[in-house]
Structure 1
Amino acid sequence: MESSVVLGEREWLACCGSVRFAKEMASAGPFSSYQEAVGAASDMWFNKVDVNGWLEAFSAHPQIGESPSKTHKSPTSAQWSKGEQSTALATATDSTLQELCEWNARYRQKFGFVFLIFASGRSTPEILAEIKRRYQNRPIVELELAAKEQMKITELRLSKLFSANATAPSTTNTHYASDVAKVEDRVSRISGHLGTAKETPAEKAAETFTRTRPPITTHVLDIARGSPAAGIEVLLEAWDNNNQSRPLFGQMDSSHNWKLQGSSTTDKDGRSGQLMKMVDILKPGIYRISFNTGKYNPTGFFPYVSIVFEVRDSQKLEHFHVPLLLSPFSFSTYRGS
């Protein structure tokens, strides 16, 4: 039998920034299980908290892409907001952050409150597409959608609180509502499972070193036109041969030994976006970035360009920015920052 978890107003306010919601939920507790708490929270949020309470909760969130205020009334909520936006920030470029900032301002001007979305695990391009789609809604429709997003965030944060109190919901319980199950799935991916396994030195290093962007990035500049090169297909591969640590001269095109890490197409600023998973510790080895320059410039000299470089064991925490400077009859590269 699960023991009850007692949550005070401070904890409930961290989950949802409505003061009335926090007071009422603290009075209604304690709750014997996560699902019981979620059910009570959902009923309170949708049936008893008024529109003013909704707007108060919305205002407790920073804009997507913006750091939480140091004067935030709940430091825990501010810290959670930062973590929930980590994927968005990691996949952002200067141009997409600027575009997101502009759309945030347009959204707030139209609807009167901050754009709210369950951001955990979502990239900046995904969030940009969603804010543009939702901007077309009528205010009454958007208010309801924002309230639903707030409830998803509340469920995620409540799950963290129950996990911290060692009463996290059992994964064998099949009676959760479908939206709660989706939240739990994201929680498991973001926060990991609680356990007592001994950490390796590499895992400890990963905990104290958090990247804000993928470890390998690139962009393409068309130096003949003096502008970014948009629409170029990009592939990132890693040498993968257990019997041979690196390709020998003359073996560079042994395609079966190269493992694809990711692919994308350069945007209007010539940036490639996310080419690989977000990892704190980059696996040492030989990497290759290939550009479909022939498709971009059919009359040029190069059907494609490949840049091969090495990440040494001492460099696994570093960032590698490997741009391409391209013209129809020449190209160059360098290690940037």
Structure 2
Amino acid sequence: MAGIEVFNSLPAQDLEARLAACCAAPDWGVALAAGRPYPDRIRLLAAADAASAALTWDDVLKGLSAHPRIGERAVGDSREAQWSRREQSAAATEDEATRAALVEANRAYEERFGHVFLISASGKSPEEILAAARQRLANDPTTERAIVADELRKIAQSRLWRLLDELG
């Protein structure tokens, strides 16, 4: 059975639990589960984008609550923790100066905006992540909220694709 067929056939509660590993904002998973059946991945991903766009800032903050600080290793054996470790593997660095700079950038970001720095880290080097964190510190809160919501959307999309691959 293809991933999309399995996705469409899962009981809603099971599917919503799996979707929470993609995006911890509950309304996102509920919207995707309620929109079934999807004829293909493209339509599901379009629905995921629409669900992301509909999230309020409070929903985004719920989504952020499941993300460790960049450069920190997610703990546990959950699907979400495993995915987070894989996504952030590029941010792992042996360079002490870069690691210290990431810690400092995280601290400054959290102090300025009141939440973790979120970036879709897959494929980015520690230096790219650090540069983005430093650049985003100059944003006003409204601009930064829009960027954070979009980064959450990107991560959710990537994880949803991975979930579909796992399903079939």
TM-score exceeds 0.5: yes
Distance 1:128 1:34 in 2: 33
Distance 2:120 2:43 in 1: 22
Distance 1:69 1:17 in 2: 16
Residues 143-170 of structure 1 show CA distances to partners (whole Å, capped at 9, x for unaligned) of 100111111111111111122233xxxx
Structure 1 position 92, deviation (Å): 4.2
Residues 257-290 of structure 1 show CA distances to partners (whole Å, capped at 9, x for unaligned) of xxxxxxxxxxxxxxxxxxxxxxxxxxxxxxxxxx
Distance 2:36 2:94 in 1: 40
Kindly report which structure 2 residues correspond to 1:215-234, keeping only aligned pairs within 5 A, or say none. none
Q: What's the TM-score, normalizing by structure 2?
A: 0.88
- The amino acid of 1:158's aligned partner reads L
Could you list the structure 1 runs, at least 4 aligned residues long, displaced by more than 4 angstroms after superposition.
Answer: none
Note the aligned Cα RMSD (angstroms): 1.7
Paired residue for 2:59? Answer: 53
Distance 1:11 1:164 in 2: 11
Rg: which structure is higher?
Answer: 1
Q: Cα gap change, 1:93/1:20 in structure 2, threshold over 3 Å: closer, same or farther?
A: same
Distance 2:118 2:32 in 1: 22
Residues 179-205 of structure 1 show CA distances to partners (whole Å, capped at 9, x for unaligned) of xxxxxxxxxxxxxxxxxxxxxxxxxxx
- The amino acid of 1:111's aligned partner reads F
Structure number having the greater strand percentage: 1
Kindly report which structure 2 residues correspond to 1:65-144, keeping only aligned pairs within 5 A, or say none. 65-70=71-76, 75-89=78-92, 91-144=93-146
Paired residue for 2:20? Answer: 13
Distance 1:164 1:23 in 2: 20
Contact residue 92 and residue 124 of structure 1 kept, 8 A:
no
Distance 1:69 1:139 in 2: 29
- The amino acid of 2:79's aligned partner reads T
Q: Which consecutive unaligned segments of at least 5 residues does structure 2 have?
A: none
Distance 2:45 2:90 in 1: 25
Q: What's the TM-score, normalizing by structure 1?
A: 0.45
Aligned residue-pair number = 160
Structure 1 position 28, deviation (Å): 1.8
Structure 1 position 32, deviation (Å): 2.5
Distance 1:30 1:86 in 2: 34
Structure with larger RCO (C-alpha < 8 A, sep 6+):
2
